[in-house]
Structure 1
Amino acid sequence: MKTEKLEIMSYAKINLGLKIVRRRDDGYHDIETIFKAIGIHDVVSIEKNTRKTLTSNRSDVPIGDDNICMKALHALEKITGQTINASIHIEKTIPIGAGLGGGSSNGAGVLVGCNRLFRLNLDEKTLFELGASLGSDVPFFVGQLLGKGSTALGRGRGEILDFISWPLDEKILLVNPHIHISTPWAYQNYKTFLNERKQPDRIIRLSASLPFSFSMENDFEPLVFSQFPAVQSIRRTLESENAVLSRMSGSGSTVFGLFNPSADIDYLSEKFPEYFSTVCRFV
């Protein structure tokens, strides 16, 4: 019996360090970052249909052609020359516009899921290229869904990936203060406050070492912290609660804290009663 429906676990990511290398001639920026998939996830359900539909459990998710999932569907149609009629439902858990890659992960889920469901037979290279055309973070999630791994060094816009083994056991606390930060704005203004960053004053010891040297600093933090002190306050609170590492993810506004695997951190959510917070692990 042919499969008519499938579900994709659409995981979030955090950036363990993000260095902005330079502004490119095309207006984008070259970066260096480490993407790492984490356990909080949406569910993308795809079902064959006689027309295209998109729904979500969240009313603030756009369901028109401007949604990345519909863009992914149209990209697949363009490259295959086929009409792909599917009903897509996004069951959202990942906060929207939070620096966790939720939308990019959903888009990757549609690319990989429709390739399987409709037997499009697109190779991995093509799926990665389609992902890059949708967004800088999408290729990481494409690779994760294709079984390349859950950790990657990202360069270029973030689409040039080297998947690596870096198994971490730390517990993760995510805190999102419901502040929307425009990524274009962050790229346009990050240099203004970059020199104000203080040098880290403590050694970071995680449960596994990286196979290469890499800074865990995020170049967006000085700008975002100066304009949105609540984000900096979250990081300070997590550090005061003995987080092994605390940083903002991407351009924000989510802040993560990594804690020893045996630590009891469920109570920390009580310190942020008006924010979104959750405890998870690395994938």
Structure 2
Amino acid sequence: MPWKVLISLAVLALAGCAATGIASDRSARGAVEAYPPEGRFLEVDGHRVHYVEKGSGPDLVLIHGASGNLRDWTYQAVDRLAPRYRVIAFDRPGLGYTPALSASGDSIFDQADLLVAAARQLGADRPIVVGQSYGGAVALAWAAEHPRHSAGLVLLGAASQTWEDSLPAFYRLTGGPLAPLANSAISALAPESRVQDAIREVFAPNPVPPGYAEHIGAELALRPATLRANARQRASLKAEIAALLPRYPALDLPVELIHGEADRIVGPQIHSVPTARAIPGARLTLLPDVGHMPQHVAPGVMDAAIDRVARRAGLR
């Protein structure tokens, strides 16, 4: 992602941190005013969780990826699936309008525990769970930790294996000791052009769908607390997946994996290909010329996978 410019802005702004902090506060308030909560809130052991619920039928939970929020699902997927499923989309802890669980970062297991409890509070005791990118790792943790509360999984460009690359500099900056200053600077000074570039890179080589950038509320991800929560989650993800890997062969539920062959963010050969081999009965669909966002580029493929899981789970 094109974060080098944002890092430079953060460094240049450290000397003017007081003024930057004021501008950052205004930017965060502006993001909330422009993109208010779309759904409702519930409390799980005193922790607030933001969710959108729509439709009727088998329960279906949607979990978004890193640097995102549930608006990724309300762009089109919620309305499209609601005639056939009771759809519940959550903001993950630390992102959107669900606060972080802890200051040190929320593991995929912590997040799964919270979202399972939230889903059960809504009466979704055994939903199909759809997870994209980082959300796919949370979905896998959900199935491993709570097998009686998951009917099946659909994993979209999911982070599911360890990898060799070190943590990118952007996450080291936004989650490290200088995070309070750096994140205020990024929040206050990140140009709109760079935000649009980042969205285009996530979709590459595919075009950004019409209206997506305006709907997603990327500015919500640039709030200082959200930048820090996202960075800390990303920093601990590899170790958490390493702990999850030995549990794949014991997963006993329908699993569908969908991955774009042109995905340069979460490589399919590193992630979904070996994961599909490790999970008994898992079905992998590789999409030529599709990048990291198959839920938008190939929505029919995702919907068909959800329907297959529902039939295999006896929900249809």
TM-score (norm 1): 0.26
TM-score (norm 2): 0.24
Q: Which structure has greater helix proportion?
A: 2
